[in-house]
């Protein structure tokens, strides 16, 4: 046996023993501890990098020569004093193999520690509230109601203001559809009195009041809050007022207190939630007479009281924006990324939206003119106490969510029966993949005009995105729309891929998916840059917010998987180019 072959066999043997469990790979422990960190509440345990190797093997880190000497000594004791040179060579090569694995593990430990340190820094930095806090506003009489902004199947939204509500600054006043389309009857002139123009009522009415329809919940505050508890998921900690002598007994969708999601720039925030008598608001008798109570409309079917939610007012929905404008290449990427960050934020807190569509996404612009998207309307959300996002589907009467056109395949094809469970952990990410077609100027393939049905479509029937869309984004959309949730990207990995595509191109140059040292150095530089930028005027821009989201959710295994997908996609792209 040649010396080269002996060394090769020794290296293979060393790696095989390591992978079989002699030394636990960093990846296994990272996945295990990642599951602990995703749970609601403080983690039960944290990874200890110094424990990746058993105690008796730690001195091998000092030098490969010492490791090789130990292995040679073991071989000599086993085969006798007259051990052959081949045996010594085998154990020497085995030692080299172990040393190489240990070096990889050491790099992983350092990268994992870097990710954890960065995550700890940015997790403590809370996102500022879009409207300054105020101590009043728990009664409908506290608000001046303006024009109607929109009406859906469950509620109507009006613009509003209050004496204590802070008006928007001039930079935010530019966030309107006025820049996209003239609000006029077709003569090309701007209508400054339009309810959505900044010179009109958007600057005067910085708030929006959402009045829920109340058909069967009764007129008591307790019954209303119990029936509509899902609407309270994005409510802030001070959104509801409790009297000293009254404790409101809330029962959420699954018999528990309604779960609250923490603040995030891409998730709507409810500032106030209260019950009040249904008023006769502008256009009520003409547009929604059936939901009014009998005291306002003799033929109405609604109850006397209902739930009111107070939120920040936004210029438009994503659908309205896309009807009059096609985002640029970079803007489209940032909008998809924001949706993924919002979905991942909900998932980490055990919430599935289940009705994600362009009508339920609000939009404004930051001071640099970049679109900021916000997920809203949580009336169909799944917010269980155990955060499993698994819904028992034992009857046809179980609500699977809204918007059947954008239901993920595993939800749309579920058949009710004993023991059947629907997993919603990747359903919202699938909807983001479908909405991405709308963002990049194409018809949603799962609406009637698109011709595809989520229950029966084949992945190779998905239409191609425009040529202007970056290859990395096309890959993300294709992986988000996988039929099998086991093969589908999570929102976190998909978001990491877009982050790396937008800001980490240099870090990915000549990057090996197995080695993360170069990427860890880039993360440290990026963290310092984001921290410095946060103190300046651009700290609240869309890109700065996205970078903070990325750094506050760093997980080594998610990042490694994202790097692998990006590099694989680019290799495939180069192969296609070479084949032409």
The conformational region for residue 283 under phi > 0 = left, psi -120 to 50 = alpha, else beta, is left
Q: Between 47 and 395, name the one with better pLDDT.
A: 395
Partners of 420 in the β-ladder: none
Same domain, 282 and 423: no
Domain identity same for 103 and 150:
no
Q: Are residues 452 and 569 in the same domain?
A: yes
End position of a domain, from candidates 313, 347, 377: 313
Q: Poorest-confidence range of 31-45, 61-75, 143-157?
A: 31-45
Task: Give the mean pLDDT of the chain.
Answer: 77
Mean pLDDT of 272-296: 93
Which of 257, 280, 313 lies at the terminal end of a domain, its last residue?
Answer: 313
Among the residue ranges 17-21, 253-257, 541-545, the one predicted with the least confidence is 253-257
Least confident stretch, 41-45, 152-156, 219-223: 41-45
Residues 63 and 117 in one domain: yes
- Active-site residue identified among 108, 344, 355, 558: 355
Neighbour-count burial of 577, counting CB atoms closer than 10 A to its CB (0-12 exposed, 13-18 middle, 19+ buried) = exposed
Report if residue 135 sits inside a domain: no
**Span 544-562, average pLDDT:** 90
Report yes or no on 337 lying in a domain: no
The residue that leads in pLDDT, 1 or 109, is 109
pLDDT score recorded for residue 348: 93
**86 and 154 both lie in a single domain:** no
- Supply angle C-alpha 151, 153, 157, rounded to 5: 30
Q: Are residues 308 and 378 in the same domain?
A: no
- Of 94, 123, 152, the residue that ends a domain is 123
Number of domains in the chain: 3
Question: What pLDDT is stored for residue 505 in this prediction?
Answer: 78
Given pLDDT bands bounded at 50, 70 and 90, which one contains residue 25? Answer: very low
Asked if residue 515 has pLDDT above 50, the reply is yes
pTM score:
0.76
Do 419 and 290 have their domain in common? no
CATH number at residue 418: 1.10.510
The pLDDT of residue 474:
95
* 117 and 243 share one domain: no
Catalytic (active site) residue 355: yes
Secondary structure, 3-state, 434-496: HHHHHHCCCCCCCCCCCCCCCCCCCHHHCCCCCCCCCHHHHHHHHHHCCCCCCCCCCHHHHHH
Tell me what pLDDT residue 221 has.
87
Vertex 266: Cα angle to 262 and 268 (nearest 5): 65
484 domain-assigned: yes
pLDDT of the residue at 73: 61
* Phi, then psi, of 310 in degrees rounded to 5: -110, 125
Q: Residue 322 has what pLDDT? A: 96
CA–CA dist 221, 218 (Å, integer): 9
| pLDDT band of 254, cuts 50, 70, 90 | very low
Q: How far apart are CA 302 and CA 292, in angstroms?
A: 5
For the chain, the maximum distance between any two Cα atoms, rounded to a whole number of angstroms, is 106
Average pLDDT over residues 406-426: 95
Owning domain of residue 33: 3-123
Q: What is the mean pLDDT of residues 125-136?
A: 62
Instruction: Report the percent of the chain where pLDDT is more than 70.
Output: 66
Would residue 408 count as lying in a domain? yes
Q: What is the pLDDT of residues 43-62, one digit of tens each?
A: 443 333 333 444 444 444 44
**Are 153 and 265 part of one and the same domain?**
yes
Q: Taken in order 117, 118, 121, 124, is the CA torsion positive or negative?
A: negative
- What does the pLDDT read at residue 491? 97
CB 333 within 8 A of CB 498: yes
Asked whether residue 330 is assigned to any structural domain, the reply reads no
Considering the domain architecture, whether residues 294 and 367 belong to the same structural domain is answered as no
Structural domain contains residue 463: yes
Residue 381 shares a structural domain with residue 511: yes
Total Cβ atoms within 10 A of residue 177? 22
Q: Of 72-86, 122-136, 431-445, 459-473, give the lowest mean pLDDT range.
A: 72-86
Q: Tell me whether residue 471 is in a domain.
A: yes
Judge whether 512 lies within some domain.
Answer: yes
Q: Is 367 exposed, middle or buried (0-12, 13-18, 19+ CB in 10 A)?
A: middle
Indicate if 484 and 566 belong to the same structural domain. yes
């Amino acid at each position: 046996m040649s010396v080269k072959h002996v060394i090769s066999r020794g290296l293979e043997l060393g790696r095989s023993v390591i992978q079989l469990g002699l030394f636990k790979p960093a990846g296994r422990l990272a996945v295990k501890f990642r599951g602990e960190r995703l749970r609601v509440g403080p983690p039960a345990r944290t990874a200890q990098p110094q424990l990746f190797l058993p105690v008796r093997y730690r001195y091998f880190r000092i030098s490969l020569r010492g490791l090789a000497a130990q292995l040679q000594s073991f071989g000599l004791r086993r085969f006798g004093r007259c051990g052959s040179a081949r045996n010594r060579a085998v154990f020497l090569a085995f030692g080299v193999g172990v040393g190489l694995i240990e070096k990889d593990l050491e790099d992983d430990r350092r990268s994992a520690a870097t990710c954890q340190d960065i995550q700890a820094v940015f997790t403590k930095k809370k996102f500022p509230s879009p409207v300054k806090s105020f101590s009043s506003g728990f009664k409908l009489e506290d608000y001046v109601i303006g024009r109607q902004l929109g009406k859906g199947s469950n509620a109507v939204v009006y613009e509003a203001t209050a004496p204590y509500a802070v008006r928007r600054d001039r930079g935010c006043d530019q966030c309107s559809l006025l820049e996209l389309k003239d609000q006029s009857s077709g003569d090309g002139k701007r209508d400054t009195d339009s309810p959505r123009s900044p010179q009109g009522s958007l600057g005067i009415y910085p708030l929006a009041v959402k009045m829920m329809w109340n058909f069967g919940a009764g007129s008591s505050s307790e019954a209303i809050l119990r029936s509509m508890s899902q609407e309270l998921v994005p409510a802030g900690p001070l959104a509801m007022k409790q009297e000293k002598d009254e404790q409101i007994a809330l029962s959420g969708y699954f018999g528990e207190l309604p779960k609250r999601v923490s603040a995030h720039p891409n998730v709507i925030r409810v500032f106030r939630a209260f019950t009040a008598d249904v008023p006769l608001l502008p256009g009520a008798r003409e547009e929604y007479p059936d939901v009014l109570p009998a005291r306002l409309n003799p033929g109405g079917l609604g109850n006397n009281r209902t739930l009111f939610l107070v939120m920040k007012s936004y210029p438009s929905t994503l659908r309205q924006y896309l009807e009059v404008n096609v985002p640029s290449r970079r803007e489209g990427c940032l909008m998809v990324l924001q949706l993924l960050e919002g979905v991942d934020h909900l998932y980490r807190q055990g919430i599935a939206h289940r009705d994600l569509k362009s009508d339920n996404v609000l939009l404004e612009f930051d001071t640099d003119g970049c679109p900021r998207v916000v997920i809203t309307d949580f009336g169909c959300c799944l917010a269980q106490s155990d955060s499993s996002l698994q819904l028992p589907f034992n009857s046809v009467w179980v609500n699977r969510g809204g918007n059947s056109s954008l239901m993920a395949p595993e939800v749309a094809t579920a058949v009710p029966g004993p023991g059947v469970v629907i997993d919603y952990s990747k359903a919202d990410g699938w909807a983001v993949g479908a909405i991405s077609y709308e963002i990049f100027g194409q018809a949603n393939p799962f609406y009637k005009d698109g011709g595809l049905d989520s229950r029966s479509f084949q992945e190779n029937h998905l239409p191609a995105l425009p040529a202007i869309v970056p290859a990395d984004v096309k890959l993300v959309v294709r992986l988000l729309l996988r039929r099998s949730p086991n093969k589908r990207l999570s929102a976190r990995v998909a978001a990491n891929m877009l982050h790396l595509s937008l800001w980490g191109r240099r870090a990915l140059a000549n990057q090996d998916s197995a080695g993360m040292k170069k990427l860890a150095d880039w993360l440290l530089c990026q963290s310092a840059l984001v921290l410095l930028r946060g103190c300046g005027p651009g700290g609240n821009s869309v890109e700065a917010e996205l970078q903070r989201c990325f750094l506050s959710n760093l997980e080594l295994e998610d990042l490694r998987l994202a790097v692998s997908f990006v590099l694989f996609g680019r290799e495939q792209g180069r192969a296609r180019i070479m084949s032409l």
